Each structure stands twice: as C-alpha cells, then as structure tokens.
Amino acid sequence: METLVSGTKEYLVVKVVDRKEAITDLTPLTPLYDVLDKDDVYKMTAQAVNADGLKAYCLIDTTLGGNWVSGIYRLYVKFSTAPEVPVHGPFPFRVEVR
C-alpha cells in the first residue's frame, strides 16, 4: 500500500487492464477520480486524470481542506465509455502525519 505524507501533493498511478484489448489509451475516455476517507466523505471529487496509455496518474493533494489526518483513504477511477461508466477501485492508500 502506498503511503503519502499529509501536506504533500503526489501522484498515485493506477494501471488499467482492458480485458477485450480494444483500448490502448485512456485519454478519450475522459477519466476522472475521487478520493474518500474512512467515513465515506469525499476528500477529492471528479478530478481529471493525467493519462499515459493505460496508466492513470492521479494527483493526490493532501492539502485540500486542510492537511489530511493519518489513516486509510480510497481512490476510485471512472471512465466514460458510453453507454457504460465503469468505476475502478477502491485503491487504498495511507496518509501519515509527520
């Protein structure tokens, strides 16, 4: 599990696998991501993904709303592939106050 320090901004990378092998780039799918805390409160909502092929780079900004408390957070990545809107996750990560 990845660990981020509260008060930092860092990328978490999600590798996407297309079982049909029809997609080679996430960019046209308008990928977005959300981050929720242990109480299911959104810390980040509908943030744009920086995509490189099938890798989704999600910039986690632990300064939003004040520095985040120590704990486990969950990252979800969603795509628009009309008529579907798949959500991948949760991808848990830890935040530590130092």
At 17, list the tokens: 């696998």
Rounded (to 5) percent helix, strand, coil in the chain = 5, 55, 45
Domain parsing of the chain, residue ranges? 3-96
Among 92, 5, 10, 3, smallest CA distance to 58 is for: 10
Per-residue pLDDT, 82? 77
For position 65, what pLDDT does the model report?
84
Assigned CATH class of 3-96: mainly beta
Per-residue pLDDT of the chain (98 residues; tens, 9 = 90+): 999 999 999 999 999 887 777 788 898 889 999 999 999 999 999 999 999 999 999 999 999 888 899 999 999 999 987 788 889 999 999 999 98
